[in-house]
């Protein structure tokens, strides 16, 4: 049963899209298991740059793609994305959406904005896509699923009940304007007509495929430190980006995922608020941001940049069960001068090697750095590990030793072929 899961080992934006796109060449099905259009996967292929938000990265290779039940689906965003892909020459005609996936409604987006505004300086820094409020409704047993949306009568009943509550919150707590049932109903019935043919029991599809020995790639969005349980809570997203989230997020047993790859950038970035131990607030941070084009694919926000943090990576390997790591953007670090790697934290005079739960502890942590000479050469043409400059090889070897996992893929540029593969994943 060749089930392979790929997840982010940092705060998202690790380059999972390009790794999934690469691995998808050998896959039969690519499945997203959590998150929504808060994700932004940038994939460069055939000289074009594609920004994917909801559609699995396998779409660019015309693979069967599945949006699992654990994903929250904004139908307008999905349809816009599909239109854009088709305008760019991508067929995107093998996409299936779980009929159990929850639908992001306009009141989710409205509440996301109102709740963030109410938090003021303490805001989470969400993407504003209504993701958190949609997951809240799912767990409150008040959500609207794809199967509910495509049944017009059922949808009318559920929307009426939801709007009554949401409008009370929007108007009475936040002083906002109420949303109109008629407008949302008409708009969403239109979306339902366009997505109904894609709705399916995708849990069954994936199960059957795995039983038939087809290769299934599970694509995580966001990353370990945005996981609602293991991330820097409350500065997290409202789902489980860790690969263990793929079992409930797709509807398969955990024993059907037999290999896990964690994806990490050669340095660290994050968007949104929250502590970040190795953050660089100086010229070097700006150099990495400019060289790596570190601006969000979804919101365009400048990403915060810092040195590689091996406390985070070791933690991600453990809580995510990574068998191996893919390290992206080694080319970005080339030519920026000497580099540093954080191997532990110093908190209140104590050496700490395990990522703490308390945000106060993380905020107090001082990085313990190892200095590296850096590599000046352009490495974007290199395809064999042995051909990398010695400093770059040492950098990768340190990651392997500290994290206890082999680095089997190394990204040296944005294009599909700019990847050093030391071991085949499937």
Of residues 37 and 408, the one with the C-beta less far from ligand IMP: 37
Of residues 102 and 129, the one with the C-beta less far from ligand IMP: 129
Q: Which long-range contacts does 109-115 make (Cβ < 8 Å, 24+ apart)?
A: 109/133, 110/166, 110/170, 110/176, 110/179, 111/166, 111/169, 111/170, 114/170, 114/174, 114/176
**Size (the chain), residues:** 426
Our finding on whether 133 is near ligand IMP (CB under 6 A) is no
- Residue 298 and residue 53: Cα distance in Å, rounded? 7
Min CB(63)–ligand IMP separation in Å: 21
SS3 assignment, position 166? helix
Our finding on whether 13 is near ligand IMP (CB under 6 A) is yes
Our finding on whether 272 is near ligand IMP (CB under 6 A) is yes
Of the CA atoms within 13 Å of residue 90, those in its CB half-sphere come to 28
Of residues 221 and 330, the one with the C-beta less far from ligand IMP: 221
Of residues 202 and 222, the one with the C-beta less far from ligand IMP: 222
Count, residues near ligand IMP per rule CB under 6 A: 21
Write each residue from 76 to 115 as x if it is in contact with ligand IMP (CB under 6 A), else as -, in one continuous string. Answer: ----------------------------------------
Q: Which residue in 21, 26, 28, 41 is the catalytic one? A: 41
Min CB(299)–ligand IMP separation in Å: 7
* DSSP label of 302: B
- Residue 150 and residue 99: Cα distance in Å, rounded? 9
For 51, the token pair is 């920004």
Min CB(348)–ligand IMP separation in Å: 27
Within 150-247, strands assigned E span 199-200, 216-219
41 in active site: yes
Min CB(215)–ligand IMP separation in Å: 25
240 in active site: no
Our finding on whether 17 is near ligand IMP (CB under 6 A) is no
Our finding on whether 249 is near ligand IMP (CB under 6 A) is no
Of residues 125 and 389, the one with the C-beta less far from ligand IMP: 125
- Residue 92 and residue 88: Cα distance in Å, rounded? 11
For 362, the token pair is 């993380």
Min CB(72)–ligand IMP separation in Å: 10
Q: Are 403 and 317 in contact (CB under 8 A)?
A: yes
Closest to 10 (Cα-Cα) out of 226, 272, 220: 226
Write each residue from 209 to 228 as x if it is in contact with ligand IMP (CB under 6 A), else as -, in one continuous string. Answer: ------------xx---x--
Quick one: which of 15, 68, 75, 132 contacts ligand IMP (CB under 6 A)? 132
* DSSP label of 195: H
- Residue 56 and residue 395: Cα distance in Å, rounded? 31
- Residue 110 and residue 155: Cα distance in Å, rounded? 20
Quick one: which of 32, 102, 109, 129 contacts ligand IMP (CB under 6 A)? 129
* Binding window for ligand IMP (CB under 6 A); candidates: 6-14, 61-69, 174-182, 310-318: 6-14
Quick one: which of 6, 67, 124, 205 contacts ligand IMP (CB under 6 A)? 124
Q: Are 19 and 234 in contact (CB under 8 A)?
A: no
- For ligand IMP, the nearest residue by Cβ is 272
Q: Are 202 and 69 in contact (CB under 8 A)?
A: yes
Of residues 272 and 334, the one with the C-beta less far from ligand IMP: 272
Q: Residues near 287 by Cβ (< 8 Å), separated by ≥ 6?
A: 336
Quick one: which of 73, 103, 110, 131 contacts ligand IMP (CB under 6 A)? 131
Of residues 92 and 302, the one with the C-beta less far from ligand IMP: 302
Closest to 30 (Cα-Cα) out of 20, 42, 40: 20
Quick one: which of 45, 126, 167, 332 contacts ligand IMP (CB under 6 A)? 126
Q: CA-CA distances (angstroms) from residue 260 to 216, 219, 330?
A: 12, 10, 21
Of residues 135 and 345, the one with the C-beta less far from ligand IMP: 135
Site residues for ligand IMP per CB under 6 A: 11-13, 38-40, 124-127, 129, 131-132, 221-222, 226, 235, 237-238, 271-272
| Residues taking part in catalysis | 13, 41
């Amino acid at each position: 049963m060749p089930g392979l899961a790929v997840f982010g080992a940092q705060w998202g934006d690790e380059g999972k899209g390009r790794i999934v796109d690469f691995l998808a060449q050998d896959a039969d099905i690519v499945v997203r298991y959590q998150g929504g259009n808060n994700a932004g996967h940038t994939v460069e292929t055939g000289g074009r740059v594609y920004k994917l938000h909801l559609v699995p990265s396998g779409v660019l290779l015309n693979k069967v793609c599945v949006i699992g039940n654990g994903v929250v689906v904004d139908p307008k965003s999905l349809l816009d994305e599909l239109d854009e892909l088709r305008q760019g020459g991508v067929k995107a005609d093998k996409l299936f959406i779980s009929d159990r996936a929850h639908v992001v409604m306009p009141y989710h987006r409205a509440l996301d904005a109102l709740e963030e505004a109410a938090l003021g300086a303490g805001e989470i820094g969400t993407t504003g896509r209504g993701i958190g409020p949609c997951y809240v409704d799912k767990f409150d047993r008040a959500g609207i699923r794809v199967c509910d949306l495509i049944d017009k009568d059922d949808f009318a009943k559920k929307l009426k009940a939801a709007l009554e509550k949401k409008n009370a919150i929007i108007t009475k707590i936040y002083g906002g304007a109420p949303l109109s049932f008629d407008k949302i109903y008409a708009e969403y019935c239109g979306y339902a007509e366009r997505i109904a043919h894609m709705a399916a029991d995708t849990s069954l599809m994936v199960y059957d495929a795995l039983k038939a020995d087809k290769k299934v790639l599970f694509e995580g969005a966001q990353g370990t430190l945005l996981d609602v349980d293991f991330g820097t809570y409350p500065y997290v997203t409202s789902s489980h980006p860790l690969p263990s989230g793929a079992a409930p997020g797709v509807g398969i047993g955990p024993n059907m995922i037999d290999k896990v790859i964690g994806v990490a950038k050669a340095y660290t970035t994050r968007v949104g608020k929250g502590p970040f131990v190795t953050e660089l607030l100086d010229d070097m941070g700006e150099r990495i941001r400019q060289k790596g084009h570190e601006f969000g694919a979804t919101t365009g926000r400048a990403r915060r940049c810092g040195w590689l943090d091996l406390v985070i990576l070791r933690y991600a390997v453990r809580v995510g069960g990574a068998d191996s790591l893919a390290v992206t953007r080694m080319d970005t670090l080339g030519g920026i001068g000497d580099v540093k790697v954080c191997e532990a934290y110093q908190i209140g005079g104590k050496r700490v090697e395990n990522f703490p739960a308390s945000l106060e502890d993380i905020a107090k942590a001082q990085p313990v750095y190892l200095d590296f000479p850096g590599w000046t050469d352009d490495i974007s043409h290199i395809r064999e590990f042995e051909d990398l400059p010695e400093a770059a090889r040492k950098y990768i070897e340190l990651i392997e030793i500290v994290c206890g996992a082999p680095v089997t893929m190394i990204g040296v540029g944005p294009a599909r072929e700019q990847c050093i593969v030391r071991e085949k994943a499937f």
